[in-house]
Amino acid sequence: MVFGFVAASAVASDADKIVGPNACAECHKQEVEAWKGSHHFKTYREMPRNTKANEIAEKMGVRRIRTESLCATCHYTVEQKGNQKKPIAGISCESCHGGGKDWIKVHSEFSGKTILFESKAEAAARWKLSESKGMLRPRSFYLLAKNCYGCHVVPQEDLVNKGGHPAGSAFELVSWSQGEVRHSTWHSKGRDNVPASAARKRMLYLVGLGVELETGIRAIGRAKSRNLYAFEMAKRVDRARKQLAAAAKAAPNVPEIAKLVAYSYSAGLKLNNERTLTAAADGISKQLVLITEKYDGSTMSGLDGLVPGPEKYKGKVRKPDN
């Protein structure tokens, strides 16, 4: 499962936990339709035919883009079928919510009752069990952000320096989750594709920037050569910490933000500095977990002037058919 990524190096998804998007579609039709309009869906068909993809693959010695894990880890969902690993889709439900095999029944069966008869305590236990079986829920801001950035920072030096792959995306969690990726149709029973609330957007914004900082700092720690990759990562870190410094000023009632910034300046952004950089990234990680435990965004209205508005949302939001 992808959030096994842990910050920097892409770990292959847990192929034997994958059930595939068709299994989710049985109940989540509108969410699946929204996904079908996204680049995440289209990359399955389009990527192998793309000239640039073939150039990158050739430089990396990859002959079959879909089946070799170097590309498949980020561009596909790979399912274990017998003793074979088969790419079955682009970046699909389980690339973001975790391989479903062990939790698909648990999360959806209202503790063996109907929705009306399940107690609050039973529901809480059901979600806890689902999470323990690998489900990544929208409310887990930190894991969610780590998962996006695990792919979108492209924390692989060779792929960038040698393969000519882009050194990540101009990613920002609010604008990149609220456009074409948005599929919040479930809790409105398919009536609407609901944007994240103001409080939720503040959390996405803050935790997203923090994870960008953490991921970039770890990547510099592991970089081996004075080349494009290391420079791009250093630029990314510097940009993120400046944005966080502005956030710290805008929301002085959240002192943890200034701590994130302080950690980012506690280690030189240079090669051969892995130990200090990793310590800084670990410090940032701890603060981010603390932030998600202590806040829900409702007291962070100071950030509203910084959170990107709808004109910045990436791609087109799908309206559900009723």
Residues 278-317, interacting with ligand HEC (CB under 6 A)? 314-315
Rounded-to-integer distance, Cα 295 and Cα 285, Å: 15
8 Å CB contact between 20 and 88: yes
Rounded-to-integer distance, Cα 148 and Cα 172, Å: 10
Write down the least CB distance from residue 114 to ligand HEC, Å.
11
∠ CA 156-283-285, rounded to 5°: 60
Burial of 296 (0-12, 13-18, 19+ CB in 10 A): middle
Q: Which of 169, 180, 171, 23 is nearest to 101 (CA)?
A: 23
CB nearer to ligand HEC: pick between 48 and 302: 48
* Binding-site size, ligand HEC (CB under 6 A): 71
Q: Is 7 in the site for ligand HEC (CB under 6 A)?
A: no
Write down the least CB distance from residue 247 to ligand HEC, Å.
19
Q: Is 236 in the site for ligand HEC (CB under 6 A)?
A: no
Dig out the tokens for 217 from the structure: 């700092």
50 to 89, contacts with ligand HEC by CB under 6 A?
A: 50, 52-53, 56-57, 60, 62, 65, 70-71, 73-75
* Cα–Cα separations (whole angstroms), residue 314 to 26, 167, 175: 28, 19, 6
Which residues lie below 8 Å from residue 158, measured CB to CB, with a gap of 6+? 60
Q: Is 22 in the site for ligand HEC (CB under 6 A)?
A: no
Dig out the tokens for 320 from the structure: 């559900």
Write down the least CB distance from residue 201 to ligand HEC, Å.
8
Rounded-to-integer distance, Cα 213 and Cα 38, Å: 26
Q: Is 269 in the site for ligand HEC (CB under 6 A)?
A: no
Q: Is 43 in the site for ligand HEC (CB under 6 A)?
A: yes
Write down the least CB distance from residue 256 to ligand HEC, Å.
21
Rounded-to-integer distance, Cα 117 and Cα 311, Å: 43
Residue from 1, 7, 8, 28 that binds ligand HEC (CB under 6 A)? Answer: 28
Residue from 7, 15, 160, 185 that binds ligand HEC (CB under 6 A)? Answer: 185
CB nearer to ligand HEC: pick between 191 and 226: 191
Q: Which of 176, 193, 150 is nearest to 312 (CA)?
A: 176
Length of the chain, in residues: 322
Q: Is 128 in the site for ligand HEC (CB under 6 A)?
A: no
Rounded-to-integer distance, Cα 230 and Cα 160, Å: 10
| Amino acid in position 76 | Y
Write down the least CB distance from residue 228 to ligand HEC, Å.
14
With CB under 6 A as the contact rule, which of the stretches 80-88, 180-188, 222-230, 251-259 interacts with ligand HEC? 180-188
Q: Which of 232, 231, 239, 235 is nearest to 209 (CA)?
A: 239
Q: Is 152 in the site for ligand HEC (CB under 6 A)?
A: yes
Q: Is 35 in the site for ligand HEC (CB under 6 A)?
A: yes
Q: Is 32 in the site for ligand HEC (CB under 6 A)?
A: yes
Q: Is 183 in the site for ligand HEC (CB under 6 A)?
A: yes
Write down the least CB distance from residue 83 to ligand HEC, Å.
23
289 CA to centre of own chain? 16
CB nearer to ligand HEC: pick between 211 and 261: 211
CB nearer to ligand HEC: pick between 73 and 287: 73
CB nearer to ligand HEC: pick between 27 and 290: 27
